[in-house]
Amino acid sequence: MTQQIWSDRGHFVNGSWTGAGATSHVENPATRQTIATITSGTIADVDRAVSAAKAALPGWMELTPQQRGSFLARIAQLVDERQGALADAMTREIGMPLKLTRMIQVGLPLITFRSTADLASTFPFEREIGNSRILLEAVGVVAAVTPWNYPLHQIAAKVAPALLAGCTVVVKPADLAPINALLLAEIVEAAGLPPGVFNVVTGKGAVIGQHLATHPDVDMLSFTGSTHTGAALARDAAAQIKRVSLELGGKSAAVLLEGCDFEKAVKATVGACFMNSGQTCSALTRLIVPASRVEEAAEIAVNAASAFVLGDPLDPATRMGPVISEKQRDGIRTMINQASADGATLACGGSDAPPNLDAGYYVKPTVFTAVDPNSRLAQDEVFGPVLAVLSASNDDDAIAIANNSRYGLAGSVWGASREHAIAAAKRIRTGQIEINGGRFNPLAPFGGFKQSGYGRELGEFGVEEFVEAKALQL
C-alpha cells in the first residue's frame, strides 16, 4: 500500500500556503511508489513569492543581527524537535538509509541553523578602517535553487546565512525531492518569521529556476546542482549583473602517498565514494595510488565495497539505498558500460541489476582499476557508487593526475605524516581537502575551484556571500 507522506498545501508564500493544485508526483526511489503530490509552480507563482520577499526586505533588514539570529535559533530548536519525522520523510524521499539520514541529512542542517544563529554576536557587520566605518549590508532578495541529493542541508546552507545577513529568500527545491523544503516551511511558519522573509515555490527548474535567475527583483542567485545547469543560470543572471554563487560538480581525488596508512586510506576513500549511493558532489571518486600497490588497493577496495549491503533504506541492516530515479540509475549504468568499453578493468560490481531489488533504482557498488586518467570515467562526474583506481609513478605524478580535471571541489591526501600530506595538498587545485582522514568541518568554507563553481558556503564564509560592503567616510 502506498504511504503518502505529504498532503499538498501548495506553495509557502508571504507566510501562508497558497496555489494548491497538485500536478506532479514524488516517488520513493526504493519502491517506485508515489509518496506525495506536489504543486507545479508557474511564473505567476514566482512573481508573487519574489514580490513578498521584496516587500518584507526593509523590515527584516532593520532588525538587529541578534534579533534575526534568534529566529534562526528557534528554527534550529524546531528542527531538533522534529528530527525523527524529518529523517523518516527524507529517507522515503531520497533513499538514504535511515540512520545516515538522521545523522547527515537532518543533522547537518541542524548544525547550520544553530551555528549561524551563534554568528549573530560575532560576525563583523560593522568595523572601522581608518576614517571609514564599513557596513556589511544584505545583498537583498535571494533566490536559492537547491538539489535533491542533500536537499535540506543545501537549503540550510543558503537560507541560514542569507537570513542572518538580512536578506529575504525564495527557495526553489529540487522537483525530485521537495518534501523536505515544505516541511521546513512548516517549521518556519511555527517559528514565527515575518511573512515574506522565507518563501518556497515548488515545480520544474526549467520554469522556476530560469525565471528566478532573470527576475529583476531578485538581487542574488545561489545555486547548487550540475555544472551545465549552473552555467546556463549564470548566463541568464549576467544580463542583469546579478550576484551569483554556484556550487557545482566534482571529480574529487584521494591521493595516497608512499608511507601512508594504506588500508585505512583505501577504506575511507571507498566510504566517501559510496556515501549516499555515490550521489555526492564532493565524493572521492578517484583513488590515486602508487603504481606498485595498485593490486593491493584493488583488493582492499573490493573487500570494502562488499560490506555495502544494498536494500530497503528503512531496514537497519542496509548500508546503501537506491539512487534517486530511473534516469539517474540508467545514466550510471551507461557510464559503467562505457568504462569497460574504454579499457578499464571491472574489479567488482557492474551495470547489471542487483538480485532481489527489482522494485527500486539500485546500482551495485562498483570498482574499476587500470583506469586511464584521461578517460570518461576519470574525467566525468558519474554521481553514483563507482570508484576509479588510478596509478601514479611518484608524488609529483599523483598530484598531476589529481589536478587533471576540470573540477576542483574536494579531495583528500594521505601521507606518512601530516606535514607530508599538507605539502601535497597545497599543490592540488580544489576547495577542500581532507588531510589523513580529517573530518568534515561544518564551519569551514565549502566551495570549488574551476568548473566546480564559485562562492563559499557554511560558517562566516557563508554569511559573507550574502552581504554588500558600504563605506561611510567619517
Q: Is residue 281 flagged as an active site residue? A: yes
DSSP 62-78: HS-HHHHHHHHHHHHHH
Look up residue 83 and give its amino acid. Answer: Q
Which among 141, 133, 173, 139 has a CA at the least distance from the CA of 156?
A: 173
Residue from 247, 381, 434, 465 carrying the catalytic annotation? 247
CA distance 390 to 294: 8
Distances (CA, A) of 16 to 11, 48, 141, 204, 271: 8, 12, 19, 21, 42
Extract the C-alpha cell encoding 399.
598530484
Cα 430 to Cα 177, 226, 234: the distances in Å are: 28, 17, 21
Q: Which residues contact 358 (CB under 8 A, 6 or more apart)?
A: none
> Among 260, 273, 281, 348, which one carries the catalytic annotation?
281
> For residues 358 and 311, is the Cβ–Cβ distance under 8 A?
no
In the residue annotation, 464 being an active-site residue is answered as no
Q: Residue 397 class from Cβ within 10 Å (0-12 exposed, 13-18 middle, 19+ buried)?
A: middle
Nearest one of 151, 154, 141, 177 to 49, comparing CA atoms: 141
Active-site residues, by number, are: 247, 281
